Chain A
Amino acid sequence: MTAEERAAELFARLATGDRRALARAITWVEDGAPEASALMRLAYPRTGRAHVVGITGPPWAGKSTLVDRLAVELRARGQTVAIVAVDPTSPFSGGAILGDRIRMQRTLTDPGVFMRSLAARGHLGGLSPATAEVVGLLDAFGFDVVLVETVGAGQSEVEIMELAHTTCVVVIPGMGDEIQAIKAGILEIGDVFVCNKADRDGADRTVNEIEMMLDLGHMGEPGINRWPSETEGAQASQSADGAAAPDGKASVGARAGDAALRRLDRTGHHSAEELGNVASYLTRAAAHAAARHGTANPGDISWRPPVLKTVAKDGLGVAEVVDRLGEHLTFLKETGRWQARREHDAARRLEELVRERVVRATLARARAVGDFERLVRQVADRQLDPYTAADEILRSHWGG
């Protein structure tokens, strides 16, 4: 049998609901087996239905415990759930301890739940290269919700945002210097914020800090999600003093004065200057993110992320998280962002694949005749600059 034939046979079994076939398909895709691309071609038409939710946050935030509880709650609401948990690979040995499954004890013999642990496999600080494809297979299999859990470190926040429709950021109380920690990357990516272990000291303060930051970035009333129509949004940005963000969203930092900023400070710990700095930073970051990742993600001030408290180990607050995740999905669909996101993802993916192939093919040709190595030496010796060298490769080997 050829690779295509093997892939077709496995996919046919997967399509009947065979979980062993699903597990094997995931392995092939993860390993980059010869059958992988044929599998993904077969799976693709069946993707695009699942609600992909990313769960990220620092280590020890209790993400796995929360995911376990979310799965139980989703099952109680009649949804089928797939869980993908990504853990880092040891740079020393290439091996990995995939330690999330052990914390998900409640649902693992439930036929409506499927969990797979993945190692990042050399992809520094982030999701494994195959994660998106694994999610695609689970989507194609028919799971209603796919929860993707990863440690928030390095690049992975950005990747999870690109992968997931809804990103849930999990923090814990007492994270130290709140503003610094929060500024360190998570605020820009969260659609739903969860302060877990909320029975500990400092939970309210952490929640307030995040709420405050979100207010600064969103100008909305706390806790209320405003879904203005496109025209409203456009009017708002027109009334700004010329500092509209690239895709037309209003720029808060440029509009709010000191007094307004201080009113938004619930904690009383911060100076107006600090708040102003944060507001401008967030607005710029949000605009940047919106431009890169499509309109379904933060920077989009019409979704004001809720900030929730949970004690995952006791199951407290979990139902509300599921409610809000569902609300976000509804928001995406009703405002056209779901569709826009599909197009954005398609564009990005197509671009990625084309880019990958063009680069691979072009460089392969250049290497095959020794041009690449020759040019590298010339550039290294400063006989040639890299831009000219690149031009030469393209002239000689691109599209040939």
Chain B
Amino acid sequence: MEAAPERRIRVLVAKLGLDAHDRGAKVVARAYRDAGFEVIYTGLYQRPEAVAAAAIQEDVDVVAISSLAGAHGVLIPELTRLLREQGVDDVLILAGGIIPEDDVPALLEAGVSRVFGPGSDLNEIIEYTKVNVKR
């Protein structure tokens, strides 16, 4: 007999634009996996359209964007705009990496729920995700 179907939280860990730093994204992806989530990592050099398409096709609960190249102010709002335009309104959007305090309000405005800076505790990220998933 098969095990009963179970609900798993699905996370898309994304790198946008030309940012080549992938250490953090990979560590976070594994941490999510070890906490029982199903994780899809986009890999490097993704255009916002490709990340939006992935988020939709994979029907993820969470999009976690890692940004260490300073382009967060342009690329993250572009991504959230694409998601909104395609009717996606029930995905938790998180950002992490090197994002100055001053830039956080604009990201929250754009639809990001929380920004995790360097040195963030992985358990905190995971707990926050579990508690704030929208579905």
Is the beta-carbon distance between B57 and A116 smaller than 8 angstroms?
Answer: yes
Closest to A129 in B: B2
Residue among A92, A93, A98 with the highest chain B CB neighbour number at 10 A: A98
Docked pose: A20 CA to B86 CA in angstroms: 8
Q: Is B99 an interface residue (CB 8 A)?
A: no
Which listed residue (B5, B37, B47, B58) contacts A130, Cβ 8 A? B5
Give the residue name and chain of the A residue nearest to B3 (CB).
A122
- How far apart are the CA atoms of A149 and B8 in the complex, in Å? 21
Closest Cβ of chain B to A21, distance in Å, is: 10
Contacts of A101 in B (CB 8 A): 40, 42, 54, 58
Interchain CB contact under 8 A, B3 and A123: yes
Residue contact A20 to B38, C-beta cutoff 8 Å: no
Is A20 a contact of B88 with CB atoms below 8 Å? yes
A90 touches B34 (CB 8 A): yes
Q: Is A70 an interface residue (CB 8 A)?
A: no
State the CA gap A325–B54 with chains docked (Å).
27
Complex interface: chain B residues within 8 A of A32 (CB): 4-6
A191 → B minimal CB distance (Å): 27
The answer to whether B39 and A94 have CB atoms under 8 Å apart is no
Task: Count B-side interface residues using an 8 Å CB cutoff.
Answer: 34
**Closest B residue to A87 using CB positions:** B38
Task: Please give the distance in Å from A363's CB to the nearest CB on chain B.
Answer: 10
Contact with A along B6-33 (1 / 0, CB 8 A): 1110000000000000000000011011
Q: Mark A1-21, 1 if CB is under 8 A from B, else 0.
A: 000000000000000000110
A105 CB contacts on chain B under 8 angstroms: 43
Q: Closest A residue to B39 by CB, please name it.
A: A97
Closest chain A CB from B82 CB (angstroms): 11
Q: Are B40 and A93 in contact (CB under 8 A)?
A: no
What is the minimal beta-carbon distance from B33 to any residue of chain A, in angstroms? 4
Q: Is B53 on the interface with A (CB-CB < 8 A)? A: yes
Closest CB in chain B relative to A95 CB, distance in Å: 4
Separation of A275 and B75 alpha carbons in the complex (Å): 61
In the complex, the answer to whether B40 meets A109 with C-beta atoms within 8 Å is no
**A20 and B34 within 8 A (CB):** no
Q: How close is B97's CB to chain A, nearest CB, in angstroms?
A: 19
A121–B5 CB distance below 8 A: yes
Q: Does A115 contact B (CB under 8 A)?
A: yes
Stretch touching chain B among A23-31, A54-62, A238-246, A254-262 = A23-31
User: What residues on A are CB-neighbors of B2 within 8 Å?
Assistant: 123, 129
Pick the contact of A129: B5, B34, B88 (CB < 8 A). B5
Q: A101-142 CB contact bits vs B (8 Å, 1 = yes)?
A: 110010011000011110101110000011000000000000
Residues of B within 8 A of A109 (CB): 47, 49-50, 53
- The residues of A that contact B116 with a CB separation of less than 8 Å are none
Residues of A in contact (CB 8 Å), total 35
Q: With a CB–CB cut-off of 8 A, which chain A residues contact B40?
A: 98-99, 101-102, 117
Smallest beta-carbon distance A123→chain B, Å? 7
Q: In the complex, how many angstroms separate the beta carbon of A280 from the nearest chain B beta carbon?
A: 35
A98, B38: Cβ atoms under 8 Å? yes
Cβ A108 vs Cβ B39 within 8 A: no
Q: How far is the CB of A353 from chain B (nearest CB, A)?
A: 13
Asked whether A346 is an interface residue with its Cβ less than 8 Å from the other chain, the reply is no
B33 and A93: CB pair below 8 A? Answer: yes
- Looking at the complex, which one of B32, B38, B54, B86 makes contact with A108 (CB distance below 8 Å)? B54
**In the complex, are the beta carbons of B35 and A95 less than 8 A apart?**
yes
Cβ contacts under 8 Å, A102 to chain B: 40-43
CB distance from B59 to the nearest CB of A (A): 4
Are B88 and A96 touching (Cβ within 8 A)?
no
Question: In the complex, A116→B10 CA distance in Å?
Answer: 12
For B36, the chain A residues whose CB sits under 8 A away are 93-95
Complex CA–CA separation, A27 to B50 (angstroms):
20
Q: Give complex CA distance A352, B47 in Å.
A: 44
Partner of B57, one of A99, A115, A119: A115
Residues of A at the B interface (CB closer than 8 Å) are 19-20, 23-24, 26-27, 30-32, 89-90, 92-99, 101-102, 105, 108-109, 114-117, 119, 121-123, 129-130, 359
A-B contact pairs, 19 of them (CB 8 A): A20-B59, A27-B59, A31-B7, A92-B34, A93-B34, A93-B35, A94-B36, A95-B37, A96-B8, A98-B38, A98-B39, A101-B42, A101-B58, A108-B50, A114-B57, A121-B6, A123-B3, A130-B5, A359-B1
- Chain B residues at the A interface, C-beta cutoff of 8 Å: 1-8, 29-30, 32-43, 47, 49-50, 53-54, 56-59, 86-88
6 residue pairs, one from A and one from B, having the closest CB atoms: A32-B5, A23-B59, A122-B3, A102-B43, A95-B33, A95-B36
